Structures are given as structure tokens and as C-alpha cells.
């Protein structure tokens, strides 16, 4: 998406190249995002890991399998 004058403002993390990029540079199948900043896109894999760990813990807790 662009801003009010059409500039590209969203950032993505390309899982194939390991680089950040603005929208429209690569196939969407290779991208995580969009993120509001280049820094947020650069931290995409860490954010995914943290979210997956949190969700796994929530699932185990819900199922009564806390790993205390």
C-alpha cells in the first residue's frame, strides 16, 4: 500500500533472500508482512518464533498439559 501520494510505505521480509524490501519487489509467496517499518520487517522471523511459542504454550495450557 502507498501513502496518500502513492509512495510505497510498507516493508516485507523475503524468506528466500533473507532481506527486507518494499512492496512489489518479489513474489508474495516469498514474503512475510506487511510491516510498518524496515526494522520491524527485519525482525519478522523472531516475531514469528515468539508468536508460535506463545500459541503453543496457550494450546498446551488449554488442553491441560502445562509444562511447569
Q: What is the pLDDT of residues 6-18, one digit of tens each?
A: 677 899 999 999 9
The CA-to-CA distance between both ends of the chain, in Å, stands at: 44
When pLDDT is cut at 50, 70 and 90, the band that residue 2 belongs to is low
Q: What is the pLDDT of residues 16-54, one digit of tens each?
A: 999 999 988 899 999 999 999 999 999 999 999 999 999
By three-state DSSP, how is residue 61 classified? helix
- Give the pLDDT score at 63: 83
Report how far residue 32's alpha carbon sits from residue 46's, in angstroms, rounded to the nearest whole number.
12
Burial of residue 13 (number of CB atoms within 10 Å: 0-12, 13-18, 19+): buried
68: pLDDT strictly greater than 60:
no
Amino acid at each position: 500500500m502507498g501513502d496518500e501520494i502513492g509512495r510505497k510505505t510498507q516493508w516485507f521480509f523475503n524468506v528466500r533472500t533473507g532481506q527486507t524490501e518494499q512492496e512489489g519487489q518479489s513474489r508474495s509467496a516469498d514474503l512475510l508482512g506487511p510491516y510498518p517499518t524496515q526494522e520491524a520487517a527485519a525482525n519478522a522471523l523472531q516475531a514469528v518464533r515468539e508468536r508460535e511459542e506463545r500459541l503453543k504454550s496457550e494450546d498446551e495450557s488449554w488442553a491441560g498439559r502445562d509444562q511447569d
